[in-house]
Structures are given as structure tokens and as C-alpha cells.
Homo-oligomer: A and B are copies of this chain.
Amino acid sequence: MDRIDAVVKTLDVLEALWQADGAGVTEVTERTGLAKSTVHAHLTTLRSKGYVVQEDDEYRLSLRFLSFGEHVKHAEPLYEASETPITDLAERTGERVLCSTAQNGLGTALRACDGDRSVPSDITVGTHTYLHCSAGGKAMLAHFDEERVADIVDTWGLPAFSDETITTWDELTAELETIREEGLAYNRGEYLPGLSAVGAPILDNDDTVYGAVAISGPTHRLENEWDIDDLHNQLLSAANTIEVNLLFT
């Protein structure tokens, strides 16, 4: 079935407002490539329905999206099930811990907890990420069947974020095989040079993938300061606790 043109345009307008953190008609026009009159008509319609607010000449997304955002977050059983294990892991390690899930072939962070010496990150709750360049993403990919992985690569490609990013199908399948053998996934500067992460999948008894938990920090600190066995145990323990929590929610 054909897509409804006006719906595609209005979603593009919403994305432009989101990316620009609020914008005027001219900036939305530039970002979307739509005609100015079209942008104006969409903004007027979105505003009349309460999805966009206008202040002077600037438009931004309204708090109506907060209802939707909270709704989809709480609809994921993983959100409740991961609260205590993720908070604990961040406290114990002092590092940044993420709990993510996959939807439409992309990862989304449902929780991001900071420890007392976490480094900053552009990945926060709600951020969509490619799966092939993160520890949690690769932990999930390793437990999808090959057809699903192929679909995801078809749809999203394997874009490079650093010199270390996996960009070929052969490299990716070899890496996923290693992850299945070792039980953990590593991101060695594959998204940002100098930043590493270790991830574990969150699975049920049938190997259904609910998500992943990952701990991230400066490569030097993770490789040289950490007792790797201890770090692995803590990560697997957190993932396992979430799996048990999921059984009873």
C-alpha cells in the first residue's frame, strides 16, 4: 500500500523540530526540504491539535509527547525489571550502565544510570542507536536469527562511526559467533574512539531477546583498572537478575 504523503511530511516536520530543539518555519523548511507553505500548514495543524507549541516565531514539540513517551516506556516489561539491577551495577562499578532494547532494527536506551565517575555520553534514555556498533546492540544481534540480522543490515546498513566500526557482513557474522561463544559482547571504540563497553544479552529460556545491559567507560580504565573477571561476573549477574525479574512481572 502507498504511504500517505501528508503523514510522511508531518512526521518529517516533527523530527526536524526535535532535532533542531525548536525551530522557525525557515529552519524547518531547510531541514525537511518541503515548501515553506507546506511547512506552515503542517505546523498550524500540529499546533491546533496540541502537538506543537508556538512562542513568537519558534515552534517546538509539546508536552503531549511526554504522555506518549512515558506510555511506551512503561509498556516495556524491561523498564520495570531493570530498575534495581541497573542502578546497583552503576553504583558498584562507578561507571555508566545502559539497559537497551531493540525495535525496528535499532536499539533504544530504556535506562541510563551513572556511577560516581561516569564519563559523559550522547546516548541517553530514548536515544536510538545502530546495533552493530555498540556492546549492547551486538549482544542482541548475536541472539537474533540470521534472517533478522540480514534484514536489519539491509535496512540500516553498517555505517562507520570510527575506524574500528564493523562495516562488512563477514566481519559482523564472525563477531556475532564469537559473542555467542563468549557470552559477552565488546565495543572497542567502535562508536567513539577511546570509549569501550561490555554488554550481555537479556534472554528468556527460549533465547528470545528482551534487550541488553552494557557498562561503558574510557577504554584505558576498562582495560587496565578493572578486574575483568569481576566486571564480567557483575554484568552477567545484572543481566540474570533482570531475566528473573522479567519472569515475574
Which residues in A have some Cβ–Cβ distance to B below 8 Å?
Answer: 1-8, 10-11, 14, 18, 21-22, 40-42, 44-46, 48-51, 53, 60-73, 75-76, 101, 103-104, 106, 108, 110, 124-128
Contacts and interface: CB of A to CB of B under 8 A. Distances in A.
Copies in the complex: 2
Contacts of A6: 4-7, 10
Given A21-B75, A72-B62, A49 B11 contact: yes
Nearest to A66: B126
Contacts of A22: 75
A4 to B, nearest CB: 5
A53 B104 contact: yes
Given A53-B104, A63-B128, 7 more contacts: A4-B45, A62-B72, A63-B72, A63-B126, A65-B71, A67-B126, A68-B69
Given A50-B104, A101-B63, A71 B4 contact: no
A53 B105 CA distance: 11
